[in-house]
Structure formats: C-alpha cells, structure tokens
Amino acid sequence: MNIHFLWPLVFIALPLPLLIYWLMPRAEDSTPQAIRMPMYVHLRTQLGSRAQANVKSRWRIWMAILIWLLLVIAAARPQTIGAPVALPMHGRNLMLAVDISGSMQTQDMQIGNQLVSRLTAVKAVAGNFIERRAGDRLGLILFGEQAYLQAPLSFDRKTVKTLLNEAVIGLAGNKTAIGDAIALAVKRLRKQPEGNRVLILLTDGANTAGNIAPLKAAELAQKEGIRIYTIGVGADQYASSFFGQSINLGSDLDEATLKQVARITGGEYYRARDLTALQAIYKKLDKLEPRAKDTVYFQDVHEWYAWPLGIALILSMLSGLFISGALSSLHTVSAQREKHYVS
C-alpha cells in the first residue's frame, strides 16, 4: 500500500516547537525563597523521588512530541490512491430489446453441429457483442406478451450479459409486444444525452400483443432522437410436420413492420437466417455505432488523516487525565498534611 501525502509541505512545521523553545525568551524565575517545611518531605515521599519526577517529565515531553508528529501527519493528508480506471467520455446509451416469446424456442439455428433454439443463438452472439461494447452504457429489455426492464443503463457489461443468459422463454408470455418494448426503451433513453441513444430490437415474430402499435412507438422514438436497429431472427427453410405437411419457420416474422420502424428512426433492418448472419449483423452494428474512443481515468482515493488525528486526540486525553490525576493527588496529600499540623 503506497501512502501519498496531499500537502507534503506541512512537514516544514515539524521543528516549530523546537524553534519556539530556542527563540522565545525564557520567563524569569521570580519565585521567592521559601522556608523549608517538614510537610514537603512527606509530600515528596508520597509523590515519588526527584528521579521519578524526571522520568515522568521526560515521558510527558515524548508524549507531546508524538502528539505533535501525529497532528502534522494528519494535516499533510495521507492518502492511498488506487489503480486508474478508464471511464468513457462520449459512450453510447445502448438498449437491447430481446424477444423471449414462445416462438423463440424454435430450433432452427446451428452452433457447431448442434441445432439450438433461436434464443440460445441470440444469447451467444449478443453476449459477445455486449463484451465488446466497452465504454457504452448498456441496458436490457425482455419482452413477450409484456415488456420488462431487466437491466437499466449502466457500464456493468458483465451483469447485463448475465441477465441475458438467465432469460427464459415464455417468462414474459407467449405473445409478442413489439410496440410496448419500443415504448419502454423510449422511456428509459429519453433522459440520456441526445445524439447517442440507440435501441437494438431483436424478434422472430409480429406484434400480437401490447397497448401501443410498433409504428406509433417508432414515431415517439424518432421525436426523442432514438435510432432503432431491428433484427429479424429465424430460418426460411421448410420443415415437415408430424402430419406430413410443410411449414415455413419464418412465416410469422413481420419484416415490413420491422423495416418501417428502422426507417422512421434512421436505423436499419437486418435479417438473421442463421448464426453466421447474426454474427455478421452485430459486427456491422459495431461499425455503425462505434464505441467510445476518448476516455478519462478515475482513481479511487482513500483518506487516512482520521487515524493519526484520532490517535493524537486519544493521547491528549490520556495525558490530560494523567496530569489531572497527579494534581488531584498532590492537593489531597497537601490537605491531609495541613489538617495534621493544625490538629
């Protein structure tokens, strides 16, 4: 632990008591000669010998030196400074809105040689995208039949990625409320600085629930200066059902509305038919919405002046109690001797 003093020039005051002792004129001893009284012999016996008195005097001097040293150290403001942490100056405020409706469990995406659900593929690709967004404030919205703010805007990319990975299909209902997800993102982004408000909305269906239409929500986003990039997920291939019929896995996707939402807000629409296309889309988004390059550095500063100041206060109190106790003892013995001689 490296100790740093904010005001090191204060240490110039360390020899100040010695300078005062050497330079200030001594007070003249105007104490008149006293008559030797037997009672003071008993007092000296009671309170200790001259040698003991000298030891106590030296002890008080060293105590005063220690207290003065602690006070000077406290005045110099000792600090420990942590390692520099880079903070963004002009990062993006980027909200992710991820569809977790029932259709996202469709297994038409492939990772390696294994078919996985659409949501699993999104978690894998979006998780890497989140890790790369150093310097941006990220937030997460999960939506199905309703839209929920899962993570508010923050620099904590690790937490946002964890919350995305913990998302469960059907948690927000089996339908899709695209308009409500956009409206919630607008509500959260509108208070952020203009010019860097971005929403990335990912879905595999059409708006089938919610209180606001996607295009109406897009108009609200456009008024607030929020760009929306929409991503349609799902393969176009046909698959055979158990009844011998063919179905189109991407037939529920409302590409026309997603394109219109992106156009209204100045964003773009992308189609992710497989994992490779999804990865390419997020790489494009990295270029379209660049990460912050200008950074400032923050160092955590911990103040330690309270410790020497507190120890000096405790020592001063103990020293004062010792002197007060000695004077009280002297007064008691003196009173007892006077009473003895009077009697």
Q: Are residues 73 and 188 in the same domain?
A: no
Could you tell me the residue range of the domain that residue 19 belongs to? 3-25+37-81+301-342
Q: Are residues 290 and 322 in the same domain?
A: no
pLDDT band (50, 70, 90) for residue 141: very high
What is the pTM for the complete model shown?
0.58
Please state, in angstroms and rounded to a whole number, the distance separating the CA atoms of residues 13 and 69.
10
CB 259 within 8 A of CB 230: yes
Q: Is residue 67 part of a domain?
A: yes
Q: Are residues 193 and 213 in the same domain?
A: yes
Q: Is residue 30 part of a domain?
A: no
Assign 323 to helix, strand or coil: helix
Q: Are residues 274 and 310 in the same domain?
A: no
Say how many domains are in the chain: 2
Q: Are residues 104 and 156 in the same domain?
A: yes
Q: Are residues 133 and 269 in the same domain?
A: yes
Q: Are residues 273 and 313 in the same domain?
A: no
CB 188 within 8 A of CB 139: yes
Q: What is the pLDDT of residue 242?
A: 47
What is the rounded average pLDDT of the residues 8-17?
Answer: 89
CATH number at residue 207: 3.40.50.410
Q: Is residue 256 part of a domain?
A: yes
What is the rounded average pLDDT of the residues 203-226?
Answer: 91
pLDDT band (50, 70, 90) for residue 185: very high
Q: Is residue 114 part of a domain?
A: yes
Please state, in angstroms and rounded to a whole number, the distance separating the CA atoms of residues 150 and 146.
12
Q: What is the pLDDT of residue 288?
A: 73
Residues 25-29: contacts with CB within 8 Å, 24+ apart?
none
Q: Structure tokens of 149? A: 């703010």
Q: Are residues 57 and 112 in the same domain?
A: no
What is the rounded average pLDDT of the residues 159-183?
Answer: 89
Q: What is the pLDDT of residue 160?
A: 93
Please state, in angstroms and rounded to a whole number, the distance separating the CA atoms of residues 51 and 318.
22
Please state, in angstroms and rounded to a whole number, the distance separating the CA atoms of residues 51 and 55.
6
302 has a pLDDT exceeding 70 = yes
Q: Are residues 160 and 287 in the same domain?
A: yes
Q: Are residues 206 and 313 in the same domain?
A: no
pLDDT band (50, 70, 90) for residue 336: low
Please state, in angstroms and rounded to a whole number, the distance separating the CA atoms of residues 208 and 11.
73
Q: Are residues 223 and 326 in the same domain?
A: no
First vs last Cα of the chain: how many Å apart?
A: 68
pLDDT band (50, 70, 90) for residue 51: low
Q: Are residues 70 and 193 in the same domain?
A: no
